[in-house]
């Protein structure tokens, strides 16, 4: 069984080999041929597990990664993982085959392309096959990053870069929200295994963290799956090469969010919030996507909005199906549960027809040089095969027989009709969105392939090479086959997946379905007929009402809001930074000092530490008073000095008065040192100021003078309060008594010196180091300034 790990390992391992192969064989052999077998191998391995899964088994392997934190690389295959795994590897195989013909082996940096693609494939497989929630998150972010790299594959184009940045910003935002949600979830359930969570739900629904966890995880799922209003990155991601769009942005990555919602339905489903969030957002997205798809003139943009709309459809179905888990659903449980089945069924269908359509659009782009609907037309006779493929894809997307889209659309209508008991709005919105879907599907086929070519492109359009046609042909064949034989897929893959999403209902044997194209004349069929009639009419009269789109103000589009918000954030942070980072030291000093006042003063007040206790104070002598008066006079003289010399002398005088204080307080060593140091600093000051221009009269405006004054007063006040309070509060006993034994311990009668060189010699050692560094610093500043100056002159 361990060889199953190949599924996860091979894409990453082979990515290392790609550059070697590329270097060795370019341009003789297209690098894609080497990569092609990987998804095929994975597809084969996954197919070999189908018998196990369809008979109700699961595959669960675990490889320790960070065992101390219980984070493991897990390989967990049940029905749901299997569908996604098969889609990823199957569509991956077709896309690589397609890309071999799509990307030139002479002009393109193919090694980059295939490394990114393999990374993406491995990451995506990791997302769907992980049971460990943090391993899932790691793979999730790897899909974001590899998708970012793929979108900006043509990085010399400005639009590619901006599209890539947008998708990265949005999906990583969602990914981080999701991580937070995951952490909350693990806090509630006390396990990192999703299966463990489902088995051991307990009273999670009433937990206080339940709602935040749900919302955060849904944000992650919605951003990844391009749900409203996070859908804006998907149309911009269409700047990627078409194989990438076909693979990532129709079949796989955008379904990661769908996967997550389906996977976590057993945990979160059943409650009203989940139901309304998932269904509501899904329906809004469905309508928004199909509404906006009609106005697009670029085929890929049209497909992008169509993808958004279809993803919304699947999402709303997942929401509707979660009602089956609600205890109050009663007998309707099975009916609601059918919605989940429909979601999974449409997921497969969408991947087939949307992949096919993207590839066809790529062919058109490749062969005519444009994707603009306004320039295209009349390609039916030139490219008959592409036309057939597009027709199959579009009619399936529109929900017509005999294509698989019809089946899932009928089931969708069944689901929304069931939900009309909950709210009548649901079927109405769904039906309207289907009409719009019908319209843009028609636009896509008929505007491109019928009529006359409006603008002759430089290229002589012709049918694509066979290799490029085979992948969409395979997908189109699946579209048709799934219509005629849906129950094969249902039996082998969809039924176990359904059971995986709704394990409790599966145990009660409520999940049975038989998909057949013909139900008789049912309300669903009538709804489809209505879609065709109204959609057809709308398409015929398209020219008359499509102008209405232009009346919608540009300012209210989501893209505009996103751009404005981004600009606003940038300009706001810039202006904020510019406002406080003035570059003026005076301002920074004001910040620092105000912080000291607020923090120290605030702490003093909050801790109620202000206390005065003069009982231990020594008596004040006349000498001390006199010295104090002298110092105050000197300090004021410094402030008021008109010339620098006066200020320097006043500072010197202050220093010498301190010497007297030391004498008075019986500190002869300090007095001696202070005397000499004060002399030297005064001399140095004089040396410096001798070379300076005359002291300018302060021209500070009055308000800032007032601020400075108040601030200095505040600092002084706070520090005085601190000092007095320190004295006023009980202090621990002094350790000075120990040093009185200096002679016995250190052989020195001078206690100060004994402390300096013996008891606390380490400080002294570092002090002289500091002194030496200062000396060397002065030396370097003075000597190297010359050399530096010369260097500047030279340059």
Partner 1 sequence: MKDPNDVILRMVTKVVVIIILTFAVNLFVSGHHNPGGGFIGGLAFVAAIVLLFLVYGIEKVRQNFPVDFKALAGAGVLISVLTGARGMFIGEPFLTQAFGYVHLPLFGKTEMATAVLFDVGVALAVIGTSLTIIMSIGDDR
Residue 761 touching partner 1 (CB under 8 A): yes
Residue 24 touching partner 1 (CB under 8 A): no
Considering only 64, 523, 716, 775, the residue that binds partner 1 (CB under 8 A) is: 775
* Helices (H), ranges, 376-424: 384-398, 404-419
673-699 burial by CB neighbour count: b if 16+ within 10 A, else e? ebbeebeeebeebeeeeeeeeeeeeee
Minimum distance between the CB of residue 652 and partner 1, rounded to whole angstroms? 16
Residue 16 touching partner 1 (CB under 8 A): no
Residue 782 touching partner 1 (CB under 8 A): yes
Footprint (CB under 8 A) of partner 1, residues 675-704: 676-677, 680, 684, 687
Considering only 425, 587, 778, 789, the residue that binds partner 1 (CB under 8 A) is: 778
Minimum distance between the CB of residue 672 and partner 1, rounded to whole angstroms? 5
Residue 648 touching partner 1 (CB under 8 A): no
Considering only 705, 765, 789, 790, the residue that binds partner 1 (CB under 8 A) is: 765
Considering only 459, 573, 779, 791, the residue that binds partner 1 (CB under 8 A) is: 779
Q: 3-state DSSP: the chain helix, strand, coil percent, rounded to 5?
A: 75, 0, 20
Contact region for partner 1 (CB under 8 A) — 78-86, 302-310, 632-640, 765-773?
765-773
Could you tell me the CA-to-CA distances from 535 to 285, 425, 442, 532, 772 in Å, in that order?
19, 20, 9, 5, 89
Footprint (CB under 8 A) of partner 1, residues 252-291: none
Cβ closer to partner 1: 157 or 783? 783
Contact region for partner 1 (CB under 8 A) — 37-45, 163-171, 227-235, 664-672?
664-672
Query: Which contiguous run of DSSP H or E holds residue 59?
Result: strand 59-66
Residue 762 touching partner 1 (CB under 8 A): yes
Quick check: 242 and 166 in contact, CB under 8 A? Answer: no
How many angstroms from the chain centroid is the CA of residue 154?
A: 22
**Does the CA dihedral 14-19-21-26 come out positive or negative?**
positive
Q: How many CB atoms lie within 10 A of CB 347?
A: 26
Binding flags for partner 1, 147-176, as an x/- string (CB under 8 A): ------------------------------
Considering only 567, 587, 669, 791, the residue that binds partner 1 (CB under 8 A) is: 669
Residue 518 touching partner 1 (CB under 8 A): no
Binding flags for partner 1, 717-746, as an x/- string (CB under 8 A): -----------------------------x
Cβ closer to partner 1: 582 or 673? 673
Cβ closer to partner 1: 417 or 742? 742
Residue 664 touching partner 1 (CB under 8 A): no
Long-range Cβ pairs for the range 378-385 (8 Å, 24+): 378/449, 378/450, 378/451, 378/452, 378/453, 379/448, 379/449, 379/453, 379/461, 380/449, 380/450, 382/461, 382/462, 382/463, 383/449, 383/461, 383/462, 383/463, 383/464, 384/463, 385/463, 385/464, 385/469, 385/473
Tell me the C-alpha distance between 496 and 55, whole Å. Answer: 8
Footprint (CB under 8 A) of partner 1, residues 482-511: none
Cβ closer to partner 1: 187 or 765? 765
585-604 burial by CB neighbour count: b if 16+ within 10 A, else e? eeeeeeeebeeebeeebeee
Q: Which two tokens stand for residue 543?
A: 């020219």
Tell me the C-alpha distance between 142 and 287, whole Å. Answer: 30
Quick check: 505 and 333 in contact, CB under 8 A? Answer: yes
- Reduce the DSSP state of residue 202 to 3 states and report it: coil
Residue 672 touching partner 1 (CB under 8 A): yes
Non-local (6+) Cβ contacts of 487 within 8 A are 514, 515
- Nearest Cα neighbor of 254 from 230, 276, 277 is 230
Cα Rg, the chain, nearest whole Å: 38
Cβ closer to partner 1: 664 or 684? 684
Minimum distance between the CB of residue 666 and partner 1, rounded to whole angstroms? 10
Cβ closer to partner 1: 526 or 769? 769
Cβ closer to partner 1: 533 or 672? 672
Residue 783 touching partner 1 (CB under 8 A): yes
Residue 764 touching partner 1 (CB under 8 A): yes
Quick check: 668 and 687 in contact, CB under 8 A? Answer: no
Indicate left, alpha or beta for 583 from its phi (over 0: left) and psi (-120 to 50: alpha): left
Cβ closer to partner 1: 8 or 659? 659
Considering only 626, 774, 790, 791, the residue that binds partner 1 (CB under 8 A) is: 774
Contact region for partner 1 (CB under 8 A) — 296-304, 382-390, 639-647, 775-783?
775-783
CA atoms within 13 A on the CB side of 604: 20
Contact region for partner 1 (CB under 8 A) — 331-339, 604-612, 759-767, 787-795?
759-767
Tell me the C-alpha distance between 247 and 254, whole Å. Answer: 10
Phi first, then psi: what are they for 140, rounded to 5°?
Answer: -60, -45
Contact region for partner 1 (CB under 8 A) — 318-326, 616-624, 647-655, 674-682?
674-682
Could you tell me the CA-to-CA distances from 788 to 780, 782, 783, 795 in Å, in that order?
11, 10, 9, 11
Minimum distance between the CB of residue 748 and partner 1, rounded to whole angstroms? 5
Cβ closer to partner 1: 666 or 697? 666
Cβ closer to partner 1: 48 or 741? 741
Binding interface with partner 1 (CB under 8 A) = 668-669, 672-673, 676-677, 680, 684, 687, 746-750, 752-754, 756-758, 761-762, 764-765, 768-769, 771-772, 774-776, 778-779, 782-783
């Amino acid at each position: 069984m361990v060889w199953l790990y190949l599924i996860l390992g091979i894409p990453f391992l082979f990515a290392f080999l790609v550059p070697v192969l590329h270097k060795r064989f370019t341009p003789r052999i297209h690098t894609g041929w080497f990569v092609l077998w990987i998804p095929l191998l994975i597809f084969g391995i996954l197919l070999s597990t189908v018998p196990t899964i369809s008979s109700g088994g699961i595959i669960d392997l675990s490889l320790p990664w960070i065992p101390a934190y219980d984070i493991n690389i897990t390989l967990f295959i049940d029905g749901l993982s299997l569908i996604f795994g098969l889609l990823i590897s199957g569509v991956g195989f077709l896309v690589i085959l397609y890309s071999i013909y799509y990307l030139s082996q002479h002009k393109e940096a193919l090694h980059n392309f295939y490394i990114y693609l393999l990374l993406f494939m491995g990451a995506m497989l990791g997302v769907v096959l992980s049971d460990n929630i943090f391993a899932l998150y790691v793979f999730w972010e790897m899909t974001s990053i590899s998708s970012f790299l793929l979108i900006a594959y043509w990085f010399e184009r400005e639009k590619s870069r901006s599209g890539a940045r947008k998708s990265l910003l949005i999906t990583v935002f969602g990914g981080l929200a999701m991580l937070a949600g995951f952490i909350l979830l693990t806090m509630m359930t006390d396990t990192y295994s999703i299966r463990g969570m489902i088995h051991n739900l307990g009273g999670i629904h009433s937990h206080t963290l339940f709602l935040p966890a749900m919302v955060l995880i849904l944000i992650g799922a919605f951003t990844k799956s391009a749900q409203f209003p996070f859908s804006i990155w998907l149309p911009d991601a269409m700047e990627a090469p078409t194989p990438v769009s076909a693979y990532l942005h129709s079949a796989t990555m955008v379904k990661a969010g769908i996967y997550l919602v389906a996977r976590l339905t057993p945990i979160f489903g059943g409650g009203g919030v989940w139901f309304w969030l998932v269904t509501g957002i899904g329906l809004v997205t469905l309508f928004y996507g199909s509404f906006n798809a009609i106005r697009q003139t670029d085929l890929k943009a049209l497909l992008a909005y169509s993808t958004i709309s279809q993803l919304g459809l699947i999402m709303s179905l997942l929401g509707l199906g979660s009602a089956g888990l609600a205890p109050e659903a009663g007998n309707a449980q099975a009916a609601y549960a059918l919605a989940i089945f429909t979601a999974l069924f449409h997921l497969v269908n969408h991947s087939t027809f949307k992949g096919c359509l993207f590839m066809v659009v790529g062919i058109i782009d490749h062969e005519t040089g444009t994707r603009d609907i306004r320039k295209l037309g009349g390609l039916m006779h030139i490219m008959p095969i592409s036309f057939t493929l597009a027709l199959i894809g579009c009619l399936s997307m529109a929900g017509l027989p005999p294509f698989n889209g019809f089946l899932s659309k009928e089931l969708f209508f069944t689901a929304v009709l069931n939900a009309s008991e909950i709210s009548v709005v649901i079927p109405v919105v769904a039906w309207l969105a289907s009409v719009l879907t019908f319209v843009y599907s028609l636009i896509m086929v008929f505007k491109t392939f019928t009529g006359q070519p409006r603008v002759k492109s430089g290229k002589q359009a012709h049918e694509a090479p066979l290799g490029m046609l085979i992948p969409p042909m395979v997908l189109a064949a699946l579209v048709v086959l799934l219509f005629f034989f849906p129950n094969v897929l249902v039996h082998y893959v969809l039924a176990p997946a359904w059971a995986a999403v709704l394990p409790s209902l599966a145990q009660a044997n409520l999940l049975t379905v038989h998909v057949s194209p013909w139900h008789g004349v049912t309300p669903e069929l009538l709804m489809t007929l209505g879609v065709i009639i109204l959609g057809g009419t709308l398409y015929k009269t398209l020219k008359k009402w499509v102008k209405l789109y232009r009346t919608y103000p540009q300012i209210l589009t989501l893209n505009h809001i996103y751009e404005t918000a981004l600009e606003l954030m940038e300009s706001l942070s810039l202006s904020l930074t510019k406002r406080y980072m003035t570059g003026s030291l005076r301002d920074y000093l004001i910040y620092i000092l105000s912080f000291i006042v607020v923090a120290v003063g605030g702490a003093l007040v909050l801790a109620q530490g202000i206390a005065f206790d003069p009982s231990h104070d020594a008596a004040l002598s006349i000498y001390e008073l006199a010295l104090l008066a002298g110092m105050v006079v000197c300090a004021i003289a410094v402030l008021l000095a008109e010339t620098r010399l006066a200020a320097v002398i006043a500072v010197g005088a202050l220093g010498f008065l301190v010497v007297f204080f030391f004498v008075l307080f019986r500190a002869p060593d300090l007095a001696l040192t202070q005397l000499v140091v004060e002399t030297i600093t005064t001399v140095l000051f004089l040396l410096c100021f001798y070379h300076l221009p005359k002291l300018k009269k302060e021209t500070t405006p009055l308000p800032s003078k007032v601020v400075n004054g108040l601030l200095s007063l505040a600092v002084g006040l706070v520090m005085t309060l601190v000092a007095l309070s320190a004295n006023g509060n009980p202090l621990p006993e002094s350790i000075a008594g120990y040093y009185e034994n200096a002679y016995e311990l250190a052989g020195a009668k001078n206690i100060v010196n004994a402390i300096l060189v013996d008891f606390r010699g380490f400080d002294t050692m570092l002090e002289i180091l500091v002194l030496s560094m200062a000396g060397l610093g002065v030396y370097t500043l003075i000597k190297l300034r010359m050399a530096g100056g010369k260097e500047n002159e030279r340059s």
